[in-house]
Amino acid sequence: MTTVPLAAEVVPTLADAVEETLAAALAGRGQSCLWCGGAESVVVRADIWSGQVVTRCVSCGSELGGVVPRYLREVPR
């Protein structure tokens, strides 16, 4: 019997999905709505210096807002 842990696929959390959606919106890439799956979300407000973003779904009208973490805003060298 081995005590090596099983290799499992990492399942993203809701927080990870929100951060990635907001980072894509800040970068100008289109993302689908997290709540209804609608194809279009528009950026209502974005500040590249602070990383704060607010998006609104065209289909269901839900808003998603928050601050994109710095590591997602930085360009890898």
Chain center to CA of 73 = 12
Domain residue spans of the chain: 33-71
pLDDT of the residue at 44:
92
Tell which wins on pLDDT, 27 or 4. Answer: 27
pLDDT average, residue stretch 37-54: 89
Quick check: pTM over 0.85? no
pLDDT for 55 equals: 93
Q: Report the candidate in 41, 61, 64, 39 with the shortest Cα–Cα distance to residue 53.
A: 64
